[in-house]
């Protein structure tokens, strides 16, 4: 059960690319997301404080990862993504060093899974991104923003953060299962955004879109593999609690199809 919860956390963090450690200037009483059209408005509609509290990560890990998550959150603004990403890579090295301190906490394995996509893109593919910087850097924001306009990815995260049940969970100290049951909209948006973004970037800078999407999907492959070997008890809970629109993220074949099929 503990494992099931851990993997749910993984699922969440990479879907919502969350937000812990962001200060709580955005409170519940502010804007209820109206039909915002631009990414900028959608980003501002994200109630970061509520999401952070609803998910409620253990403090031991958050000590090392707070800044990393703040940087991830910044990327949701979809502006200067390349430079923000490079900063994130620097931060990733620091939080990894922090996690590797002896006796830091017992979640080293979870940290590695959660950051497997970051590791892939920052370390293993560092040369590729440096070499192709002149193409990728100027095209990244536009690609992400265009796909966000058609897929409403950022708005779906803002909507999640403003659901009454999620706000309620946040006020009561956090409940990851509640958040998972509300992930439907985010998953539908991701199912649109990921192939869109992959195609668009591949057209501008060969292989770059596929590589970035591969990175984003890394933790989900680990999750899918875990569920393939899990007991019926665990898989039943996942089937029951997770919205249908999210199941593509935990099945190997559907993950493969995001990476391979033409849109």
Ligand X SMILES: *[C@@H]1O[C@H](CO)[C@@H](O)[C@H](O)[C@H]1NC(C)=O
| Binding segment (CB under 6 A) for ligand X, from list 5-13, 18-26, 56-64, 227-235 | 56-64
Is residue 123 involved in binding ligand X (CB under 6 A)?
Answer: yes
97 is an interface residue for ligand X by CB under 6 A: no
Nearest-angstrom CA–CA distance, 75 and 56: 21
**What's the closest the beta carbon of residue 20 comes to ligand X, in angstroms?**
13
Helical ranges in the chain per DSSP H? 2-16, 39-45, 48-55, 59-75, 81-99, 108-114, 116-119, 126-131, 133-151, 153-161, 164-171, 176-181, 184-204, 208-228, 232-241, 252-260
59 binding ligand X? (CB under 6 A)? yes
Cβ closest to ligand X, residue 57 vs residue 258:
57
Residue 90 sits in the site that holds ligand X (CB under 6 A): yes
Q: How far apart are the first and last CA of the chain?
A: 37
Question: Considering the complex, what minimum distance in angstroms separates the CB of residue 114 from ligand X?
Answer: 17
Which of 60, 97, 233, 263 binds ligand X (CB under 6 A)? It is 60
Binding residue for ligand X (CB under 6 A) from 67, 89, 135, 237?
Answer: 89
Interface segment toward ligand X; rule CB under 6 A; list 57-65, 109-117, 198-206, 246-254: 57-65
**Candidates 59-67, 109-117, 169-177, 249-257; binding stretch for ligand X (CB under 6 A):** 59-67
Kindly tell me which of 90 and 257 has the beta carbon lying closer to ligand X.
Answer: 90
164-171 and 48-55 helices, crossing angle to 10°: 60
Query: Measured between alpha carbons, how far is 204 from 197 in angstroms, rounded to an integer?
Result: 11
Burial 177-189 (b: 16+ CB within 10 A, else e): ebbbbbbbbbbbb
Given a contact cutoff of 8 angstroms between Cβ atoms, the answer to whether 9 and 55 are in contact is yes
Q: Contacts with ligand X in 124-163 (CB under 6 A)?
A: 126
Interaction of residue 106 with ligand X, rule CB under 6 A: no
How far is the C-alpha of 187 from the C-alpha of 169, rounded, in Å? 20
The SS3 assignment for 113 reads helix
| Residue 94 in contact with ligand X, rule: CB under 6 A | no
Q: Which of 93, 165, 171, 257 binds ligand X (CB under 6 A)?
A: 93
Min separation Cβ 60 and ligand X, Å: 5
- Residue 258 to residue 2: CA distance in whole angstroms: 29
Smallest distance from the beta carbon of 119 to ligand X, in angstroms?
Answer: 10
Q: Least CB distance from residue 181 to ligand X, whole Å?
A: 29
Rounded CA gap, 225 and 230, in Å?
A: 9
Residues that bind ligand X (CB under 6 A): 59-60, 63, 89-90, 93, 123, 126
């Amino acid at each position: 059960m503990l494992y099931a919860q851990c993997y749910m956390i993984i699922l969440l963090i990479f879907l919502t690319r969350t937000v812990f450690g962001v200060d709580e200037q955005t409170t519940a009483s502010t804007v209820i997301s109206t039909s915002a059209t631009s990414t900028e408005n959608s980003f501002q509609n994200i109630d970061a404080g509520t999401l952070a509290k609803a998910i409620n990560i253990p403090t031991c890990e958050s000590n090392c990862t707070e800044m990393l998550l703040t940087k991830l959150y910044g990327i949701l603004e979809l502006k200067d993504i390349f430079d923000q990403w490079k900063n994130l890579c620097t931060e990733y090295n620091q939080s990894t060093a922090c996690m590797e301190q002896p006796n830091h906490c017992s979640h080293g394995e979870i940290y590695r899974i959660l950051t497997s996509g970051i590791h892939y893109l920052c370390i293993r593919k560092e040369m590729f991104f440096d070499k192709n910087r002149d193409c990728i850097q100027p095209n990244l924001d536009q690609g992400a923003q265009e796909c966000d306009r058609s897929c409403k990815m950022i708005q779906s995260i803002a909507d999640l953060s403003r659901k009454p049940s999620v706000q309620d969970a946040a006020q009561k100290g956090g409940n990851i299962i509640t958040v998972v049951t509300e992930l439907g909209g985010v998953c539908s948006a991701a199912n649109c955004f990921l192939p869109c973004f992959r195609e668009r970037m591949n057209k501008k800078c060969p292989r770059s879109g596929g590589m970035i999407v591969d990175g984003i999907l890394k933790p989900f492959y680990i999750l899918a593999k875990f569920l393939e070997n899990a007991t019926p008890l665990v898989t039943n809970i996942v089937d029951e609690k997770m919205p249908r629109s999210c199941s593509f993220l935990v099945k190997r074949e559907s993950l493969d199809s995001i990476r391979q099929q033409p849109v």
